[in-house]
Chains A and B, each alone.
Chain A
Amino acid sequence: MREVTFGQYYPVSSFVHKMDARIKILLTIAYIVAVFLVKEFYFLGYAIATLFLLLACIFARVPIIKILKSIKAILFFVIFSSVLQIFFNESGNTILEWEFIKITDIGLYKAGFITLRIVLIVMGTSLLTLTTTPVELADGIESLLSPLKLIKFPAHEFALIMSIALRYIPTLMDETDRIIKAQKARGADFESGNIFKRAKALIPILIPLLIGSFRRADELADAMEARCYTGAKGRTKYKKQRITYRDILGLLAVALVLFGICATNGWVNPNWLIVLPI
C-alpha cells in the first residue's frame, strides 16, 4: 500500500529529536509565554526569540524552509490581522490618508509587531511537531496530564484514545481510498455538480466508512479485552521517558531567552547582577 506520512514529523536523528517529549512540550509553552512577554515595539525581544529559533533549527537538523512552510497554513490569518491593525488604528502620525482610510506609523508598527508574534509562535510550535513523533507527543501529554488524575481527569484514557486514533489514521485512509474507487467504478461522480450535489455524492463513501469503523472498533475492543485490558488500574508502562543532559541544556537555553526578553523589556535591574558571585 501507499505510504502515508502523518503530521509533519521530520525523521532525522538530532539533539532536539532525542530530547524528552515532556520537556519539549513544556519548553514550547515557555517559549510561547516568552514571545507574549515582549513589550510593545521592543523588537529586540523578537530578535532574541528569532536567534533562539535559528539555533534550535540547527540543533534539530531541520531545514529552515520546513519551518517557514508552517506559516503557509496561517497566512490568511496573519494578513487579516495585519490589515485590521493597519486600517483601524487611529493613533500616531498619519502617513497616508485616502477617503476613509488612514494609515498611521503606529498602525504599521502594531501590524508588524503582531505579525511577528504570530509567526514566531507558529514556527516554534512547528519545531515541536517536526522533531517529536505523534506517539511521543501523546505519551508526553499523558505524562504531563497525569497529575490531573487527582481531580478525576481520565489522563490514561485520553492518551489511549489519541494513540489509537494515530494508529488507525493510515488504515482508515487506505479504506477511504478503496471505497472511493469502488464507488467510482460504479459511476459515482465526486467532481462535478453544485455543493449540494457533491455533498450528496459523499453518502456512498461515508456510510460504508462509518459502518467499517464501527466494525473495526468492535473488533479492536474485543482484541484489547482479550489481551487483559481492564483500564488504567494496575497497569505498568513499557515506555520510559528519561531526562538527559540535552533536556537540561534545552531548559537553560529557554531560560536564557526568557531572561533576555525580560532584560530588553527593562524588567531586570542591573544591580541584581552584581549580587551574583561571578
Chain B
Amino acid sequence: MRIVAKGLKYSYDPKAKFKSDALKGVDLVIEEGDFLGIIGRTGSGKSTFIQHLNGLLPVQKDGGTLLVGDYDLSFVNKKAKKSFKDLRKKVGMVFQYPEYQLFAETVFSDVAFGLKNFSPNLSEEEVEDRVRTAINAVGLNYFEVKDKSPFDLSGGQKRRVAIAGVIVNKPEVLVLDEPVAGLDPKGKDEFMSLLHYLKKEFVKTIVIVSHDMDLVCENCNKVAVFADGKVVKHGVPKDVFSSAIEMQNLGLELPLTVYLTALLQERGINIDSDLTVDGFINAVISAKNGGGL
C-alpha cells in the first residue's frame, strides 16, 4: 500500500477564531516496503498525522488529500460517513504504551479481540490458528501465555501482547507511536529486532514515530522530519541528516554518527558512510587504514 498525503491540514478546533492548526499542509509519500521514521519535536504534528492513516482522525473540509492504498480518505461531504473498518484492518496502529490498553481476561481473548471485530466469520480453528501465529510472531510462547491474564505479564511482555493484537489482523502497514518508550536498553534492542522480523515476515511497511535519533538513524530506511505541522525533510537518513545546522535549528538532536561525521568534516576529514553504527565504524577503519597506506 502506497500512502500519499498532499496538503494535509488538520485543526483540533476548526471553529476557533485564532486556530492553531496541528497540521498545516503535510506532503508525504510513504512507499510500500518503507521502514519510515518520523521525527520532530513534541507538538510538531507527528501524532496527529499518523492518526489520519487509519481514519481515527478524519480529513477535514479543505484539509487536503490522503490516499492510503486504494482508499481515498479525502473529505467528500459531511454526510458521507465512511466506514473505516476495512482500512483499519490493513493499517495497524500501535499507540504509545500500548500495554495500558489491554483489557481481556486472557492473553488469547485480548489478541483475538481485533480479529473477531474485523473478521467475524472466521471459524474457531481459524481464529486459534491466527492468534497462535501472532503470539509466536512477537516472540512469546503461545502455550505458556495464552491462558494467562495479560495483567500478570511483565511490562515488556504486555507490550508484545498488544502488538500481537494488531498483527493478528494481518495488516499491510504497521504504525507505532514511540514503540520503545520506557523499555530498558536490552528491551529496546530486542523490540527493534522484533520490528525488523515483523517487517520481513508479516507486514510490508512500518512507520514509527520516535524521539530517539540514534534509533531512527540506525533502523529506518527513510526519515521524515516534522516541524510546525509540516514535513520539512524527507528521504534516506543520509540526505535528511546531511545538514547538521538545519537539524539543530529545528531543535532536534543529531544522531551520534551524524554528529561525528559533521565534526570530522569540519576538521577536514571526510568519512562516507550510511550513518548506521556498523557503517560508520567500517568507514572510520578504512579511513584510518587508507590514510596509513
Contacts and interface: CB of A to CB of B under 8 A. Distances in A.
A117 to B, nearest CB: 35
A74 B134 CA distance: 52
B95 A189 contact: no
Contacts of A204: 101, 103-104, 113
- Secondary structure type dominating chain A contacts: helix
B165 A208 contact: no
Interface stretch (A75-83, A178-186, A220-228, A256-264): A178-186
B85 A187 contact: yes
B56 A185 contact: yes
A94 B146 CA distance: 76
A204 B162 CA distance: 13
Contact of A181 (B95, B104, B118, B151): B95
Contacts of B92: 185
Contacts of B101: 178-179, 182-183, 204, 208
Interface residues of B, number: 25
Contact of B103 (A181, A184, A208): A208
Interface in B54-106: 54, 56, 85, 88-89, 92-93, 95, 98, 100-104
A16 B263 CA distance: 62
B56 A184 contact: yes
Contact of B88 (A178, A185, A211, A212): A185
Between A2, A181, A182, A212, the greatest number of chain B beta carbons within 10 A of the residue's beta carbon is seen for A182
Interface string B142-155: 00000000010000
B51 A181 contact: yes
Contacts of B85: 187, 189
Nearest to B84: A184
Contacts of B118: 187
B100 A187 contact: no
Interface in A145-181: 178-179, 181
Contacts of A3: 13
Contacts of B95: 178, 181-182, 185
A186 B167 CA distance: 10
B128 to A, nearest CB: 18
A243 interface: no
Contact of A182 (B98, B117, B151): B98
A275 interface: no
A10 to B, nearest CB: 16
Between B12, B85, B103, B169, the greatest number of chain A beta carbons within 10 A of the residue's beta carbon is seen for B103
B156 interface: no
A65 interface: no
Between B51, B100, B118, the greatest number of chain A beta carbons within 10 A of the residue's beta carbon is seen for B100
A183 B104 CA distance: 12
B166 interface: yes
A73 interface: no
B114 interface: yes
A187 B104 CA distance: 15
Contacts of A178: 95, 101
B114 A187 contact: yes
Contacts of B51: 181
Interface in B1-20: 12-13
B93 A207 contact: no
Contacts of A212: 100
Between A3, A185, A207, A212, the greatest number of chain B beta carbons within 10 A of the residue's beta carbon is seen for A185
A207 B100 CA distance: 10
Contacts of B151: 211
A211 B102 CA distance: 10
A201 to B, nearest CB: 10
Nearest to A211: B151
A44 interface: no
Contacts of B12: 2
A3 B101 CA distance: 23
A203 B114 contact: no
A186 B54 contact: no
Given A186-B114, A187-B118, A203 B103 contact: yes
Nearest to A206: B103
Between B51, B56, B101, B114, the greatest number of chain A beta carbons within 10 A of the residue's beta carbon is seen for B101
B100 A186 contact: no
A188 interface: yes
A178 B47 CA distance: 11
Interface in A192-210: 203-204, 207-208
A37 to B, nearest CB: 43
A208 B117 contact: no
B98 A188 contact: no
A193 to B, nearest CB: 12
Given A204-B113, A208-B100, A187 B89 contact: yes
Interface of A: 2-3, 178-179, 181-189, 203-204, 207-208, 211-212
9 contacts: A2-B12, A181-B95, A185-B54, A186-B166, A187-B169, A204-B113, A207-B103, A208-B100, A208-B102
Given A186-B113, A187-B89, A208-B101, 10 more contacts: A181-B56, A182-B93, A182-B101, A185-B166, A186-B114, A187-B85, A187-B117, A187-B118, A204-B104, A211-B100
